[in-house]
Amino acid sequence: MLSLENVSVTFNKGTLLERRALTDINLTIREEDFVTVIGSNGAGKSTLLNIITGNICPQKGRILVNDTEVTAWPVERRARFVARVFQDPLEGTCGELTVEENLALALKRGTQRTLSKALNGKNRNLFEETLARLNLGLEKRLRQPIGLLSGGQRQAISLMMAVLSPMEILVLDEHTAALDPKTASFIIKLTRDIIAEKKLTVLMVTHSMHQALDVGTRTIMMHDGIVKRDLGEEERNKLTHQDLLTFFEEIDG
């Protein structure tokens, strides 16, 4: 499904600010894997996501999706394979556009946009059905600017936008970190339900030890741009959150 072969990224190469963000990463994500990614600040988590989405091109190595090399593909070309939900609910949506306009843009992600009418009756019905499952009443607010909604409401819509059109890989970039605990719990439940329903392949970056073990089927621990541990479902099931913390203490030590 997704393969990273000897991928390395260095920022500000050849300067006093040179920093190796990823070092010879070899990683294979199988179809329907739900991988949580955890690590300290500067571990390389965000860089890992950015090379998968196409925001950053590695200086070394290859990235393949379904055996197709996409290493040099820009974000817009890779969008038909990869969808992303950001940490900041404001980043994944355009506040000045209406709810339905944001959804219409998401529906056309990864395809060539034309001058055809995006907000037709068929699409509005789809958007209403999509938002109705949230039980937040948002299907009645399609024509309101999305900027009027709360952060949690916008993040819920961002998640629905990410899966509105076909794709191969869903990338979740600490998508509950900016939310209060109650809203974060709602978004995590929604995430799990959607992933199970659509049988998606997922990478989810998190700072939460609980999410790292309780969500998904596999956990990757990163430190200093290197994958230090790759925990499968059977091994994860034997671990506690304290065990995970101990692993990090050993790595830092």
**Beta strands 169-173; 82-85: pairing state:** parallel
Give all strands (DSSP E) within the chain, no chain letters: 2-11, 19-29, 34-39, 60-65, 68-69, 82-85, 169-173, 201-205, 218-223, 226-231
pLDDT digits (tens, 9 = 90+) for 189-243: 999 999 999 999 999 999 998 899 999 999 999 999 999 999 998 999 898 888 8
Q: Pick the residue with more confidence: 12 or 109?
A: 12
CA dist 159 and 84 (Å) reads: 8
pLDDT digits (tens, 9 = 90+) for 4-54: 999 999 999 889 898 999 999 999 999 999 999 999 888 999 999 999 999
**Beta strands 60-65; 2-11: pairing state:** antiparallel
- Contact between 127 and 142 (Cβ < 8 Å): yes
Q: In what order do the strands lie in the sheet with 19-29?
A: 19-29, 2-11, 60-65, 68-69
Domains with residue ranges and CATH for the chain: 2-81+167-252 (3.40.50.300)
